[in-house]
Amino acid sequence: MSKQSKWLEKMTRRPLGPGAMVEDLLECSGMSQGDLAAKIGVSRATISRLINARQVLTPDMALRLGRYFGNGARIWLALQQQVDEWELLHADQTKYQFIEPQRLAA
Q: Which alpha helices (H) appear in 1-106, and where do they start and end?
A: 3-10, 18-29, 33-40, 44-51, 59-69, 73-89
Q: Which domains does the chain have, with CATH numbers?
A: 17-91 (1.10.260.40)
pLDDT in tens, 90-101: 888 899 889 999
Q: What sign does the CA torsion over 72, 75, 78, 79 have?
A: negative
pLDDT (0 to 100) of residue 93: 87
pLDDT (0 to 100) of residue 1: 67
pLDDT surpassing 90 at residue 5: no
Pick the more confident residue, 21 or 7: 21
pLDDT in tens, 44-93: 999 999 999 999 999 999 999 999 999 999 999 999 999 999 998 888 88
Pick the more confident residue, 52 or 104: 52
pLDDT (0 to 100) of residue 75: 97
List CB contacts of 86: < 8 A, sequence separation 6 or more.
Answer: 8, 11, 14, 15
Q: Could you tell me if 83 and 14 are in contact, meaning their C-beta atoms sit under 8 angstroms apart? A: yes
Backbone angles phi, psi at 41, to 5 degrees: 80, 35
User: What is the C-alpha separation between 84 and 67, in angstroms, rounded?
Assistant: 23
DSSP reduced 3-state for 1: coil
pLDDT (0 to 100) of residue 90: 86
Helix 59-69, helix 73-89: angle, nearest 10: 140
Q: How confident is the model at residue 13 (pLDDT cuts 50, 70, 90)?
A: confident
